[in-house]
Structure 1
Amino acid sequence: MADLKFQLIEIKKNDYNFTGYDLNKLISEMLKDIGSTDSELRDELIYITFGQMIVANNILNKDQIKQLLDICVDDQHLFYRLGENETDSVFVRSFSVLILPFILNVDQRDPFLSESEIKYVRKRLFTYVREEKDVRGYVDGKGWAHSMAHAADALGEIANHPYIKEDDLIELLEVINAKVLFPNSIYTHNEDERMALAAFNTIDRGLLNEQQILNWINNIKIQLDTQKKLVSDLNSLYLKLNVRNFLYNLYFRLRYNNVGLTLQKEIEKLLDSIRDF
């Protein structure tokens, strides 16, 4: 770990000049420590270096990016000890999913992934989001876990991909619902805004008709009413606040971008129906 950290600090100092480095070896070492509890190594060095390699400087060739994608969504990364809560395994999962937006963004600008490859990533991503239990934001002494914010970034990017069609987008909204309707705690680290952006990207694709989107919004209200009856008063409050904060963020993003006027009115009604005062 110390050797990798030293190398990445030097690469950063040299403005991400990778001359003289064995890229495949460097990538392998970065992936081994992608979930390090050293926040500087994980967040400021490994993550940023991957971004420079994939997006900013076009250092990696398409085969290298494909291989990186396969690893990020495999059982030892995106699905690593999936289902655990409040353990360090979340850092592996949450920083593996955070590499996906880089790769999906590059593929949209210069396509190299097949439809079947994108659909596989979509399947893995949707399953991961549904099954992730550890939704901590900032962890004292270890930095950002932020699994739901990172997952939302990936959902927002895949929503824009040309291979993602109507049925995929309907399922994507359902996946978002599964995490917005969360009764165990309140999202306090901007997760609601990033999930709202993923929902906005899904709506803004223009593939779903107005009724499909209105059905989705109405279903949030139905699920909220149902779930509130199954949990304690405190958890019911958490549930309501998570839904309300998500809807506020989605509403103002729609309004700012002048998208979905009918949907905006429906969200206004829903927000009014769940307010306390």
Structure 2
Amino acid sequence: MTKIDKGPPLDAAYWHTVHANDYAVPHDADLSTLTDELARALKDPDPEVRDGIPYVVLRTWIERDVIGRELRAGLGTVMADRFTDHEIQARTFAPLVLDMIVGRGDFDPGWLAAFRRWYPAEADLRGYDPELGWLHAVAHGADLLGTFALHPAVDPTTMLALASDRLLAPTDQIYAQQEDDRLAQAIARALTRPELSEAESVEWLAPIEADFAVGRPPGVPTTAAHTSNAMRTLRMLYLLADVGVRTRPSGPVVRPLHADALQQRLARVLALVFQSH
């Protein structure tokens, strides 16, 4: 465990004051110490701590460059380490923070390697837990996948393959809180990268196509959960190929580079699991 994860409990009143003062850094405060405290808060099992004001303060300070590049680099490494944490909320909030950092243009190959190991292997796919609050491993991971896919240092084909691996990982958990939509958006963002060839824009679907082609075992009345998740994700991707996606919040809506070829391949893949009765 990194030392940043050890320290005193969150001073809620202090952070409420920061929030009320338009996120201004308190006078004479040590920004490194404050960043450490915010990082600890984002693995707290109490959702009011983890998903409350500390999250908003951290996001705002990163957006405003209050937390500069050097501190962001250290924070990114802490979050990458959390992908192997034994607590689920620590693992699933790590991609949210890395998304903030990579979205600023920062990049470390170690962050990407840690994420690629974690994302398809995560077995706890609960969206919301009554005690822990939002966990959302698939959705939070999808957001980071889409951000990595837009970074010039990242090969977009590796992110498309990673999305395929996540969709094919066996699970009993049906996506029930728009995880399929979030993952489809991430894939669509990856597919806007201009260096992708037409073949590369559709080849990542081959393993999913092969999985769909196997079909349901005889006598099994329902589709496997991962198959259901995958086909709903691909349906949303088909729609996004048609209407486009934003690669940044205030940016224009753009279609994937080879949208027509993508839709043709998606239609072929989805036809394998279409049930007419």
Q: Which amino acid aligns with 1:29?
A: E
Aligned counterpart in structure 1 of residue 129 of structure 2, from 120, 136, 139: 139
CA distance in 2, matches of 1:102, 1:228: 40
Is contact 2:72–2:101 with CA below 8 Å preserved after alignment?
Answer: yes
Structure 1 residues 3, 118: CA separation in 2 closer, same or farther (over 3 Å shift)? closer
Corresponding residue number in structure 2 for 1:266:
265
CA distance in 2, matches of 1:25, 1:274: 53
- Residue 233 of structure 2 aligns to a residue whose secondary structure is helix
Cα deviation digits, residues 52-79 of structure 1 (max 9, x gap): 1101x221121111111111112xx222
- Residue 172 of structure 2 aligns to a residue whose secondary structure is coil
Counterparts of residues 110-189 of structure 1 (less than 5 Å): 113=106, 118-165=108-155, 169-181=156-168, 182-189=170-177
CA distance in 1, matches of 2:13, 2:19: 10
Q: CA deviation at 1:137?
A: 0.3
Counterparts of residues 15-30 of structure 1 (less than 5 Å): 15-20=22-27, 21-30=29-38
Structure 1 residues 4, 225: CA separation in 2 closer, same or farther (over 3 Å shift)? farther
Q: CA deviation at 1:262?
A: 1.6
Q: Which amino acid aligns with 1:30?
A: L
Q: CA deviation at 1:171?
A: 2.3
CA distance in 2, matches of 1:152, 1:233: 30
Corresponding residue number in structure 1 for 2:252:
none
Compute the TM-score of the two structures, normalised by the length of structure 2. Answer: 0.84
Is contact 1:53–1:59 with CA below 8 Å preserved after alignment?
Answer: yes
CA distance in 2, matches of 1:271, 1:69: 38
Corresponding residue number in structure 2 for 1:110:
none
CA distance in 2, matches of 1:240, 1:61: 43
Counterparts of residues 1-277 of structure 1 (less than 5 Å): 3-20=10-27, 21-55=29-63, 57-74=64-81, 77-81=82-86, 89-107=87-105, 113=106, 118-165=108-155, 169-181=156-168, 182-226=170-214, 228-229=216-217, 233=220, 236-257=223-244, 258-259=255-256, 260-277=259-276
Pairs aligned (count): 255
- Residue 70 of structure 1 aligns to a residue whose secondary structure is helix
Q: Once superposed, what is the RMSD of the aligned Cα atoms? A: 2.2
5+ residue gaps in structure 1? 82-88, 108-112
5+ residue gaps in structure 2? 1-7, 245-254
CA distance in 2, matches of 1:118, 1:206: 22
CA distance in 1, matches of 2:227, 2:141: 21
Corresponding residue number in structure 1 for 2:248:
none
Higher percent of residues as helix: 1
Q: CA deviation at 1:19?
A: 2.4
CA distance in 2, matches of 1:214, 1:145: 31
Is contact 1:73–1:96 with CA below 8 Å preserved after alignment?
Answer: yes
Structure 1 residues 28, 235: CA separation in 2 closer, same or farther (over 3 Å shift)? farther
CA distance in 2, matches of 1:139, 1:17: 33
CA distance in 1, matches of 2:222, 2:85: 28
- Residue 99 of structure 1 aligns to a residue whose secondary structure is helix
Identical columns (%): 23
